Structures are given as structure tokens and as C-alpha cells.
Amino acid sequence: NAISKKLKEFEMERGIPATELGVKEAKLAFAHVSFSLVALLIGGLCGLLQTLVRTGVIPEIAGIGYYELLTAHGLMLAIVFTTLFIFGLLFSFLGQSFGRFEEFPRRLGWVGFWLMMLGVVLVTWMVLAGEASVLYTFYAPLKAHPVFYIGLVIFVVGTWISSGAMFRMYADYKREHPGVHPPLQAYMSIMTVLLWVVATLGVAATILFQLLPLSLGWTDKVGIELSRTLFWYFGHPLVYFWLLPAYIVWYTVIPKIVGGKIFSDALARMSFLLFLLFSFPVGFHHQLLEPGISAFWKYIQVVLTFLVIIPSLMTAFSMFATFELAGRRNGATGLFGWIKKMPYRDVRFLAPFVGMLFFIPAGAGGVINASHQLNIVVHNTLWVTGHFHITVGAAVALTFFGTAYWLVPLLRGRTLTKQLNRIGLIQTATWTIGMLFMSTAMHISGLLGNPRRTGPAAYFKDSLVADWIPYHAAMAIGGTILFISILLFLFAMFQLAFRAPKGIEEFPVAETEEAAMQTPLFFENWKLWIFVTFALIAFAYTVPIWHMIENAPPGAPGWKLW
Ligand code: HAS
Ligand code: CU
């Protein structure tokens, strides 16, 4: 047809593929991205409905109340939307880096995709049927239907198979190019999936050995502290699994869009390496207020938490450097002259940039959370909900939105038009306003003691907590604006996938600045880094987990609270 003919001509002319991504690779990536958008729609709708139910604007319908909606909201957005979008994006990065995939890894990619879909269907079915109102953390001793856990396992196995496909491609490239650094985007993508695979070992352990047997009735008690510890061993690196793909875009795509270069290849690789090393031994910062873990081990993991902030600070530094150098190339002067030179009218830049702005207070909030004394004030309040809506819900989500505006047309052989770019700008603005309303209200009312994950309660009318009511109104308003933003986004994506004019969208990848130093080859020493990663995990977890098992209370029966 016309488009492939045009592509062919283009390829002939330049002697290279029109885009490094072949048609088959694009199909695989688009399958992931398009289903991630379905999850975004369902998850966003459930988010809006749970706010309205909690605020008392609407009643629960057909037995689907606050906890069912909140569970679906969390799972659909935090797990399904993110993971599918990320795998689609990483397959695109690998296609761009390595060219066409071999038949075998591409097949694996499809097997992984379909297993993920099967897992999602089982999990969603159970949640909507009211069999698994356990929220996205499915904490013990809450007990869901076995099919819920089986769905989760199938989903995770799917991701492992897709990750295997990626490892295979990376290894093939390294074998064929000895002594060379694989492209930066490929290195970062592999680091991201490696982080995911190591992290999911923990959650797989608690599901397979604790929660599923409990749910099937094979055991009648569950060790709560151990289960939560295995969950957070996964749960913290999970947040970096969301963040790192956004960072790949910040490091490698944004410089191109602002007309600059990647500040430093070595710095970028090193920050990702540090994420691998320090993402795992920090899960206790989610359990600071739980008994059964000694203060010493909490302290150790808090120190390590402060270490894992460093690669984010490196990223901030690198972004400022990129912006300033690009600005100066375009004639900016002075310390802040670059601010006037950025392409704010390009959604591919604006959305991720607003995400970066959100990430400044979001990161500061994380540092507050990690400080034990302050955690006592904020733990289990809406403050934490505010924190993760400006991390994953703003910094990461906005980056993914901005990315989708070039990725979706690229995968579909179409181009981003002026009008759709303008819709993108409006959509970014609505997301920003909605999120400002919602997350500010969450942070403040959290400080006033407003608990998270608590259904509509009669005590709201109590004069003691009447202060919270205006904040709930602000959250409902913010949530509504956010949902409108999602609808705008999905409209634009539909147009970009099926209606926009055909053509070749550029895959924006920046070049690197003239390097002050060469990237050291030991960054490629995977055996060493995986060893150090597991050594740090063993250091931070062996003794406290041993204490948990040795001093374990008899265990708790599973509970179904709904
Ligand atoms: Fe967090 C709870 C600590 C980062 C997500 N976090 C959560 C939960 C989620 C989450 C989902 O220590 C709730 C889990 C649950 O359901 O219970 N978090 C941290 C720390 C960081 C952090 C120390 N979190 C994230 C990221 C997330 C995320 C990233 C998702 C993507 N978090 C915690 C703690 C808790 C917690 C406790 C438990 C709370 C409790 O009690 O339950 C750090 O990684 C943050 C480092 C980030 C920075 C910011 C760097 C800034 C950059 C932007 C530069 C801007 C530019 C633009 C260049 C230091 C890179 C400039 C332009 C101009 C014009 C100025
Ligand atoms: Cu964490």
C-alpha cells in the first residue's frame, strides 16, 4: 500500500530503513501501547468514581463500592497501564537501537504480551466480581479469590518472558560487537527490565508461598510481616521501574527535542547502574511504623534510601546542563536565559517538562517520607497518596503522555499534526491543573490527619474532621479535570493511530556532547553488578527476615473484610 511504498522509496533513497523500527517490531510495540491506553481509560474512570463515592457525591452501584473501585483504579493504572506502556516503549527503544528483531525474541515478545493480557483479564474479573477488594498492595492477611493471585502470577510470568526476549537481543548484540558499548537507550532499557525481574522475585515469593496457598485453603495462617516485607522488597523498585523509562526519555529524547545533546553518556549510564544497586535494599522505608523489624535495620535501609536519591539528583543535574547548553547554543545568556529558549509549544517537550517540575516537590516529599520521625506524621494519610500522584501520576504519566504523541504515530506510520499537538498542549494543561488541585488537597489534608484508603465514613460530619471536607471537594474537582484530560488524550491517540496523515515521524534520539571522558567499559560488567545487587539485598534483608521467621507469631487467618 501507499505507506509502505513511501517507506520503501525513503529507504532506497537513504540506503537505510526509514526508521530503525521495522513493521513487525512496530506492531509488537503498538499492541502493548494500545492496550495500556485501554487500562488508562478504565483505571482513570475508576479513580474518578472512587473519589465521588468517597466524597459522597454518588452512592455505590451494584455492590461496586469504594474499595472495589480503589482496587481497580490502583491495579489498572499503577500496574497495567504502566507495565504495558513501558514494555511497548522499551521494545521501541530496542528496535531503534538494534534494528529488526530476530524471529525468536519477537515471538517471545508476543507470548509475553498475551500472557500479560490473560493475567489482566483474570485479575480484573475478580476485582469487578467483588472477589478481590484487596487494593493494589494485596496486603496479608486480606484474602482474595485464588484466581486473583493466579492472574497476577500469569501476568508476572508474561513480563519475565518478554524480559527474556530483551536480554536475548542485548546478549546477541554484545556478542556481535565485542568491546563496544551498546547504544545508550538499549543499556537503559535493559537496566530497567533487569530491575523489574529482580524485583518481581519478591512478590512472586509471597504470592506463591503465602497468599495463594492461603487462598486455596492449603494453609490456614499467614505470616503478615514476612509477606509485607517481600511485597515492599518488590514495591519500592517497582516505583523505579515506572520512573526509569521516563528517565530514558529525559536523558535521550528531550535533548533532541530542545535542539541539544545528551550531557554525558557515562553519567547517564552510571545513574541507571546506581538505581540497580540501591533500589532493592530500601523496602523498609514503607514499613517504618511496623513492629517486628528492629530500629537498627530500619535505620540501615533509610540510609540506603538516601543513597538511592543520588541518581535522581544526577538526573536533575544532567537535565539542567542539557537545557543550559542547548539554550546557549540558541543564543541564551546568563544563568537562566535558557528558560526563554525552550520549545514550550511542542507537546513532546511540554508534557515531560511539566513532569520534571512536578518531580521537584515530589522528590522532596519522598525525602520527608523516608525520614522516620516525619514518616510518623504522614504514614497512612492522604499525604502519601498525594506523594505518589505527583511522582508516578505526574512526573511519569506526563512523560509517557508527551512520549505517546510521537511514539504512537511513529508506530503507525503517521505524523503528529499541528492540531493534535495543540490538543496535546491543552491536555497537558488540564492534567497539570487537575493534578495541582488534587495533590495539593491530598498533601494538606493528609497533614491534618486525613487517612488514606478509608471509605466514606459517617464521621466526616463530625466537627473534629469537618476541616477535611473542602479538601475532598478539591480532590473531586481535580479528579474530574484529570478524567477530562484522559479523554482528550485518548481522543488524540485514536486520531494519531488511525486518522492522522500518513508519513514518517522521526524517532527523536539525541547525540552525546563531546565527552570529557570515555564511558568506562566496566559498566558492561553485568556479572559484577548483579553480584553486588544481590550482595546488598542479602546485607539489608537476611538478618531482619531471619528474625521475622524465628520470632514469628503463630500467623493470622486470612480475612475477607468486604
Ligand atoms: Fe515514593 C511511598 C520515599 C520516589 C511512588 N512512593 C510511595 C508510594 C508510591 C511511591 C506509589 O520513604 C506509596 C506506596 C503505597 O501504596 O503505600 N519516594 C521516596 C523517595 C523517593 C521516592 C525517597 N516514589 C518515588 C517515585 C515514585 C514513588 C519516583 C513513583 C514513580 N515513597 C517514599 C517513602 C514512602 C513512599 C518513604 C512510604 C510512605 C509511607 O509512609 O507509606 C526518591 O526516589 C525521590 C528522589 C527524587 C528527587 C527529585 C529530583 C528532581 C528531578 C527533576 C529535575 C527538574 C528539572 C526541571 C530538570 C530528589 C530529577 C527544572 C526546570 C526548572 C525551570 C526549575
Ligand atoms: Cu519506596
Q: Does residue 381 sit in helix, strand or coil? A: strand
Q: Does residue 474 sit in helix, strand or coil? A: helix
The CA 286 to ligand 2 mean position distance, Å, reads 6
Please report the atom of ligand 1 found closest to the CA of residue 308: 44
Residue 71 · residue 127 · CB < 8 Å: yes
Q: Does residue 259 sit in helix, strand or coil? A: coil
Best CA proximity match to 281, nearest among 202, 383, 167? 202
Rounded-to-integer distance, Cα 557 and Cα 142, Å: 9
554 C-beta neighbours (distance < 10 Å), count? 7
Candidates 145, 389, 443, 472; catalytic one: 389
Choice from 360, 373, 383 to test ligand 1 binding pocket (greatest atom count within 8 A of CB): 360
216 C-beta neighbours (distance < 10 Å), count? 12
Q: Is 387 a catalytic residue?
A: yes
Best CA proximity match to 96, nearest among 403, 341, 382, 513? 403
pTM above 0.90, yes or no: yes
In the beta sheet, which residues pair with residue 512? 262
Q: Cα–chain-centroid distance for residue 1? A: 37
Q: Is 372 a catalytic residue?
A: no
Choice from 203, 241, 308, 312 to test ligand 1 binding pocket (greatest atom count within 8 A of CB): 312
Rounded-to-integer distance, Cα 256 and Cα 263, Å: 11
Best CA proximity match to 42, nearest among 93, 8, 76, 12? 76
The CA 276 to ligand 2 mean position distance, Å, reads 14
Rounded-to-integer distance, Cα 220 and Cα 480, Å: 43
SS (H, E, C) 49-92: HHHHHHHCCCCCECCECHHHHHHHHHHHHHHHHHHHHHHHHHHH
Rounded-to-integer distance, Cα 280 and Cα 308, Å: 10
pLDDT score recorded for residue 16: 42
pLDDT score recorded for residue 54: 83
Looking at this predicted complex, what is its ipTM? 0.98
Q: Is 175 a catalytic residue?
A: no
pLDDT score recorded for residue 15: 46
Candidates 181, 379, 387, 412; catalytic one: 387
Choice from 378, 391, 399, 435 to test ligand 1 binding pocket (greatest atom count within 8 A of CB): 391
CA-angle at 517, arms to 516 and 523, nearest 5°: 140
Candidates 81, 91, 101, 240; catalytic one: 240
pLDDT score recorded for residue 17: 44
Ligand 1, atom 61: closest residue by C-alpha: 357
CA-angle at 274, arms to 272 and 275, nearest 5°: 65
Q: What would the pLDDT profile of 432-443 be if each residue is shown by its tens digit?
A: 999 999 999 999
Rounded-to-integer distance, Cα 200 and Cα 252, Å: 27
C-alpha distances in Å from residue 99, one per residue of 19, 25, 187, 227, 353: 9, 9, 15, 42, 29
Best CA proximity match to 66, nearest among 47, 39, 82, 86? 47
Q: Is 379 a catalytic residue?
A: no
pLDDT score recorded for residue 1: 54
pLDDT score recorded for residue 6: 62
Residue 384 · residue 378 · CB < 8 Å: yes
pLDDT score recorded for residue 51: 87
CA-angle at 252, arms to 247 and 253, nearest 5°: 95
**Ligand closest to the CA atom of residue 308:** 1
Q: Is 53 exposed, middle or buried (0-12, 13-18, 19+ CB in 10 A)?
A: buried
Looking at this protein, which amino acid is placed at residue 27?
Answer: K
pLDDT score recorded for residue 469: 85
Ligand 1, atom 46: closest residue by C-alpha: 363
Residue 140 · residue 556 · CB < 8 Å: yes
Instruction: With a cut of 70, list the residues of the chain below it in pLDDT.
Output: 1-20, 457-464, 516
pLDDT score recorded for residue 8: 58
Please report the atom of ligand 1 found closest to the CA of residue 339: 64
Q: Is 452 a catalytic residue?
A: yes
Ligand 1, atom 32: closest residue by C-alpha: 366
